[in-house]
Amino acid sequence: MQNNIFLTLFVGQCIVKLQEIDSTNSYLKKLLSNSTPLLDGTVIMAERQFAGRGQKDNIWESEVGKNLTFSIYLKSSFITANHQFELNKVISLGIIDTLQPIIGKACKIKWPNDIYYHDKKIGGILIENVTKGYQLKESVIGIGLNVNQQNFNLLENKASSVSKILQQDYDLEKLLAQICLNIERRYLQLKADKTVILAQDYLQNLYRINELHFFQLDDEQIKGTIKGVNAQGKLIIETEYDTKELDLREVKFIID
C-alpha cells in the first residue's frame, strides 16, 4: 500500500498539518527567524487560519476545513533578487498546470499571481522572499485555494471554488499532492534555466492578455491591452497613447 501520495523529490516530502494557526506564512517565517532547520520543500498546511494574509495587506478568509491554505518553504538562493518574479511564474504555473485538467482552460493567471476561473477568483498566492545581498536566500510561498467552499456571501460574484465549478467536492489531499508535483516540475525548469518556456507559458495563461479592457490607475481610468510582463514583473499595458509598465500598487483590473 502506498501511503505517500506525494510523488515529488522534495516539495511536500516533509509536511506539517496544523489544526489552527494565525497564518501558515507567518508560522513558517517565525520558524525561519528562530533558525529552525527546515528541509527544502517543507509544506505547512492549516485547517483554519484566524489571521490569513493576502497581498497588499489584505486578509485571506477561508471556510474551515473546506479549502487548501498552505505554505511551502523553498531554498531559493539560486535566484537573483532582480529575477524574483520568476518565482511568481513558477508557482502560478504549477497551480494552473494542476487545475486546468480538472476545471478547464478558463482557469487563468490574473497578473501577478491570482488564480481565476472566468471572471472569478478561486485562488491567491503570497510570496515572501528573504534576500541576502543580490540573491534570494529563501522563500515562503503561501497558497490559498478555494476547493470545497460553496458560499462566498458578499463575494458571491467575485469568488468561486473548484467544487462550485465541478458541482462536486474534490479530495483536498489529492489536490495538494498534485499541486506540489507541478510546482516542483516548474521550479526544476527554473533551476535548469528554462526561463523562455516559463515566460511563454505564463503569458499564454494570462487572464485578459491581448484584450482591450479598462484599468484603474491612481487617479484615472485607462483603456488598454495587456501585452506582457517586464523582467521586474511589472504589467505592460498598451494604450492608444503610450505603453505603461505598472506595479501591483499602481493598477487595478476593472471586472464587472
Minimum distance of ligand BTN from residue 126's CB (angstroms): 4
Shortest distance (Å) from residue 51 CB to ligand BTN:
7
19-27, 30-38, 102-110, 239-247 -> range binding ligand BTN (CB under 6 A): 19-27
Residue 7: φ, ψ to 5°? -90, 40
To the nearest whole angstrom, how small is the minimum distance from the Cβ of residue 191 to ligand BTN?
24
Residue type, 32: L
Contact with ligand BTN (CB under 6 A): which of 23, 42, 76, 160?
23
Span 37-56, contacts to ligand BTN by CB under 6 A: 49, 52-55
**All 3 cell numbers of residue 107?**
482557469
State the DSSP string of the chain.
Answer: --------SSTTTSEEEEEEES-HHHHHHHHHHTT----TT-EEEEEEESS-B-GGG-B----TTTSEEEEEEE--TTSBGGGTHHHHHHHHHHHHHHHHHHH-TTEEEETTTEEEETTEEEEEEEEEEEEETTEEEEEEEEEEE--S----GGGTTTB--HHHHHTS---HHHHHHHHHHHHHHHHHHHHTT-HHHHHHHHHHTBTTBT-EEEEE-SS-EEEEEEEEE-TT-PEEEEESS-EEEE-TTT-EE---
Which one, 49 or 148, has the nearer CB to ligand BTN? Answer: 49
Q: Which of 162, 172, 178, 195 has its CA nearest to residue 90?
A: 195
For residue 223, the minimal CB distance to ligand BTN (Å) is: 25
CB of 145 to ligand BTN, least distance (A): 8
Q: Based on CB atoms, which residue is closest to ligand BTN, 146 or 178?
A: 146
With CB under 6 A, what is the number of residues at the site for ligand BTN? 20
Least CB distance to ligand BTN at residue 100 (A): 19
Contact yes or no for 118/95 (Cβ under 8 A)? no
> Please, which residue, 18 or 197, has the CB nearer to ligand BTN?
18
Q: Which is nearer to ligand BTN, 124 or 233 (CB)?
A: 124
**Residue among 11, 12, 15, 25 that touches ligand BTN (CB under 6 A):** 25
Q: Segment contacting ligand BTN (CB under 6 A): 65-73, 85-93, 214-222, 244-252?
A: 65-73
**Window 110-169: residues binding ligand BTN (CB under 6 A):** 114, 124-126, 142-144
Which of 4, 30, 50, 58 contacts ligand BTN by CB under 6 A?
A: 58
Give the residues lining the site for ligand BTN (CB under 6 A). Answer: 23-25, 49, 52-55, 58, 60, 69-71, 114, 124-126, 142-144
